Structure 1
Amino acid sequence: MTMVSRRAVTAGLLLIPGMASAAPRYDAVLKRPDDPRRFSAPTYDRLSAAVAAAPKDGARPFKILVTRGVWDEQGVIDKPFVHLVGEDRQASIISHLAASGLIAPDGKRWGTFRTPTLFVRAPDFAARNLTIRNAFDGLAEMSKPGGLHSHDGGGPQAVALMLDKGSDRARLSEVDILSYQDTLFPDAGRSLFERCLIAGSYDFIFGAGRAFFRDCEIRSLPRPVDPVDGYVVAPSTPIDKPFGFVFKDCRLTKAPGTARHSVYLGRPWRPSGVFPDGRYGDPKYVAAAAFIDCWMDDHVAPEGWTKMWYTGKDGNPRTMLQPESVRFSQFGSGGPGAAAFRRGRTLTAAEAKGMSQRAVLAGWNVR
């Protein structure tokens, strides 16, 4: 009997002469046409085709093996229980290039909300051991003459992953989520991120959803063209939701070139709504985020949190929403960047304990 590596078994790639067995572990395989391996599960050369093969009303995981390669496509997960499993965390890459200020195929600017590489619009999505990235090079674009900038109204915002309306109980484990600005957009439902890497500069984790981050690396990238290198989070949590983004036992790191004290933990995003008396920032959005027992490098600003503008009821587009008016907090921080932050709250031990994974994701029995 031939010895088989533990890695091959774990990946579901038990090789036998002329055949790579993908069943019963996998229901579909995403592989390049020039990949000579044969699988017992159906193979596809586009993610959209593999997702289309999943049952419309599935009640069990439909597992798609994502083999090594760069899968350049803007994907939509619109069926429940779709699970993506990468063959290699760094080499199984779901990628697409779009940015808010670039022109889309329809001749219009993409706009931030159309840029995600991957949209999730169905419950019980899962991803493991792969990379999801937006391939737009924000720093290169902003550094060139006449390049896109955030203040232009159509700038370098480039989302890698959006948990959109319909998403709930999304679970990502050991996934690299990469872009430069507005990287991760958990805007709906409950989500769990475990041992993930999330990288970006401005507002690179933002939205209205409930998300628990455990043992993740949150990596800030340098932004030398702007006064500060960045803001980690920009939540828009509805006031009737007790939790927004909670980070537990995470590491806030920095890429080379990120300056000391140049990155805020976050700022509160208040999207506008339309009301009988006009269009202005919707007061129901009162951001919530907490960092609990996290290690922070020295790029974190001593203030901790900062303000963000929104359109006031009087029409002033530079009305400021202050950290003290929302729900920003931390507890048990360590590392060179940890401090008695000047803004936001320090939780009591009891309050921190009350922000457990079970509490944040209430109603979801995570196994």
Structure 2
Amino acid sequence: MRWLVLFLSVFSSISLRAPVAIAATSIARTIVVNLKGGGDFKSIQQAIDSVPDNNNKWTKIHVAAGVYREKVNVKSTKSYVVLEGDGAQTTSIEWGDYNGDSSGHTTNTSATFTSYASNFVAKRITFKNTYNGFAKLTPAVAAWISGDKSAFYDCRFIGFQDTIADMHGRHYFKRCYIEGVVDFIFGYGQSIYERCKISTVKSLQQPGYVTAQGRNSASDNSGFVFKWCTISGPQATYLGRAWKHYSRVIFYQTFMSDIIVPAGWYIWNSKGYEGVVTFAESGCIGPGSDLSGRVKWEKQVINFCYKARLQME
């Protein structure tokens, strides 16, 4: 057990080193966005565009309460941005593109919010894809995150399929609410989800999948770690399915309601690679945490911890 805790601690410290440092860093500039006027801009995208390219000083964009119906894109040149809402229940960014719509959108271009910038922080804001996938699921991304050292605090992510595209880079999510049905946390990120509430929503899809992690090789550092989270909702779900052959997902001391499919995991695209897929659970509680029905190829904590120790020594 102590090696798993150490692994999680090391994983977390690597991911969070830069975002946590912002607490002791002064904000060089504050920009105010307000739909009703009285701020610097009425559009979030206009505020982001006003940040100088190759910015290296923390800039806060404070977004007043309201529903901002726009697609927002933080380009890779717009680093050191803090996007702060008045509260996730009152400040939201909403749009409804989906993969294959009449405009020819793909999964990544369907995203309501996209960030390619490193050193990005979002607080107290909702990212929502308004496409209704109850009857016909298709990728419709709420947030596409592909910048290194990105952190999200007290945010909400709402969608059906592919809600969070947790792509390349080190990412941290704390006290966030994440909602969806299929692969609603997917990607190649090296990410920590801490004290997050994960909820399924009702759909004609039975059952769903919380994660679809895309680790490609044994040397790939990516993986999803869930610490002290909760999983609940009205739809039965697997904890995850193996998008790539070396997929890696760990649930640690997480509450699981009875919606978890007893097998826990689905091999999907990686049949024949069960030995190198790393799906594991440790110290989880709740009716869905019963390990007796899990797939035989789920990694045992003691073996996983031993390998993690060897890699660190």
Q: Which has the larger radius of gyration?
A: 1
**How much has 1:52 moved relative to structure 2?**
1.0
| Aligned with residue 238 of structure 1, among 189, 192, 216 | 216
Q: C-alpha deviations, 1:314-343, integer Å up to 9, x for none?
A: xxxxxx466544111111110111111522
Moved over 2 A (4+): 23-26, 320-325, 348-352
- The question of 1:68 aligning with 2:48 is answered no
Gap runs ≥5 in structure 2: 1-25
**SS of alignment partner, residue 70 of structure 1:** strand
Question: Superposition RMSD on alpha carbons, in Å?
Answer: 2.4
**How much has 1:241 moved relative to structure 2?**
2.0
**How much has 1:182 moved relative to structure 2?**
0.4
| Aligned with residue 29 of structure 1, among 27, 32, 37 | 32
**Aligned counterpart, 1:51:** 48
Q: What is the identity percentage for the equivalent residue pairs of Structure 1 and Structure 2?
A: 27
Larger helix fraction of residues: 2
Count how many residue pairs are aligned between Structure 1 and Structure 2: 279
Is the alpha carbon distance of 1:299 and 1:323 closer, same or farther for their aligned partners in structure 2, counting shifts above 3 Å? farther
**How much has 1:136 moved relative to structure 2?**
0.8
**Aligned counterpart, 2:107:** 112
Rounded to whole Å, the distance in 1 between the matches of 2:93 and 2:32 is 14
**How much has 1:24 moved relative to structure 2?**
7.0
Checking the alignment, whether the CA contact within 8 Å between 2:27 and 2:59 is kept in structure 1 is no
**Aligned counterpart, 1:278:** none
1 or 2 for the larger relative contact order (CA 8 Å, sep ≥6)? 2
Rounded to whole Å, the distance in 2 between the matches of 1:102 and 1:264 is 28
Give TM-score, length-normalised by structure 1: 0.71
**Aligned counterpart, 2:200:** 220
| Aligned with residue 168 of structure 1, among 139, 145, 148 | 148
**Aligned counterpart, 2:230:** 251
- What amino acid is aligned across from residue 280 of structure 2 in structure 1? S
Checking the alignment, whether the CA contact within 8 Å between 1:27 and 1:64 is kept in structure 2 is yes
Give TM-score, length-normalised by structure 2: 0.83
**SS of alignment partner, residue 303 of structure 1:** coil
**How much has 1:25 moved relative to structure 2?**
8.4
**Aligned counterpart, 2:241:** 267
- What amino acid is aligned across from residue 339 of structure 1 in structure 2? D
The equivalences for 1:1-367 within 5 A come to 27-32=30-35, 34-35=36-37, 38=38, 43-78=40-75, 79-104=78-103, 109-139=104-134, 142=135, 148-149=136-137, 156-164=138-146, 167-223=147-203, 225-226=204-205, 228-239=206-217, 240-254=219-233, 257-258=234-235, 262-270=236-244, 285-309=245-269, 320=271, 323-340=274-291, 341-343=293-295, 344-348=298-302, 351=305
Checking the alignment, whether the CA contact within 8 Å between 1:95 and 1:134 is kept in structure 2 is yes
